[in-house]
Structure 1
Amino acid sequence: MKRCDIETPGQPRIGRTMMAHLAYQPLLPTGNKYLQQKWDKTSYDLHRGKVKSAKPTINTTPPKTYVHLAVKLKKQKLEEEWTMKIERENNMLMEKISHIMRTTGGIDNKNYYDRKSLGKEKQQLELLRITKENQMILSRLSECRSHYNLKSWNEDWLKTLKVMDSIARYPRGRTNEQKEQDNSIKKHNDRDKEQKMSADATTHSRAGDKYNDKESEENENSKETSKKGSTGTEKQQDTAAYPEPKAPEESISPDALENPGSSDSL
């Protein structure tokens, strides 16, 4: 028995034992099985060739690249022209600079023309108008008189001072006098100290002990004088605060006799 591979259309190859009574079994009834086998084989080969040579209906290939889009000759030409222009201008500048370096230069930057403004006359007229208005305002302010009378104000103030003096219980201006006295005492003490310091600077170093004794004595004396001055001021304040009682005949005024209730009202 021999072994062979029989290929049938539409079926895989199957290894079968070659037997004398077996033959090709077509799908449809035929008169000659041998011829039908050949025909089926050719049709199957033709089908496989068509399948292998079949092309897709959708075009998936990349598009065609054009040379003028990739190279861009126009852009290259513009860049070349721009570089040529820059080089030409640079060469011109180099020639000018070299000429100036070789020579003193022929540039004249002096202007021999007068500056003129189109609105100069109008500006002058406006300035004249403003100055006239300012002069008129100044004349009005200088000619106008004051509405208030200073003399009457001064007279009213003097009257109020008299009334205040008559109404006040203690004499006015006493505190200012006391402050002036204190300031004069301080100035006198400061002068004494300065004189003492100048005298001490002239004395020799050996007389240091004597100087200390004198200074202590002078300080005591200044204290005593200050105490005396303070006691004097205190006495004055006491006399100002509590004046001495007058005689009964002088204390009663004729106005009080005529109007006995006036003192009570005050």
Structure 2
Amino acid sequence: MHRSYQPLKPVTNRYLQQRWDHDNFENHRRKVSSALPVVETRGMRTPAHVQLKLKKLQLQDERLSIIDRDNRLLASKLADIVCSKGLVDHRNHYHPRSLNADKRREELLLVSRQNQAIYQRITSRQSEYRRQLWLDDWERTQCRRGDISRYPQGIGDKQRSHRKVKFATPDSSERSESCSHTDTDRET
């Protein structure tokens, strides 16, 4: 029983169903072996307007025509020079002049007049700062600060000791210091 053909669907004749299934399978294998690829791998054809580039050709023709015209002009000038007696007019007897020089000169004069007027106003004005009042006010402030402060200004500098710190011998761990500690004492 294990060697007999087992169809997928119930059938009346197993032998015929086996032959039909075998024929269908062989037909399928023949189609698969003769099948062509479905995916187009050749790529797209480049359109004609991209290959030809008419605008580029037109610009190139115009550039070549301009170059030919310039070459002809240059050749005619060289021919004129060769045929002439060697006298070349190379001097320009005109002075370069700007079209808006007058306008720029008027603007420059206007700006200089305005600057002069501003300078006159600045120099004629009296100063509003009263330096003497500032100095008097500063002196009063110094006096009040001296009256209010616990330690008057300048006394600390007079009391500062200028003695240096003396250390004991390296054997002992104690050290002797002066009573007053100053910034210079701490640095040494």
Name the structure with the higher helix share: 1
For the pair shown, the structure with the greater C-alpha radius of gyration is: 1
TMscore range, shorter length? 0.3 to 0.5
TM, length-normalised to structure 1: 0.30
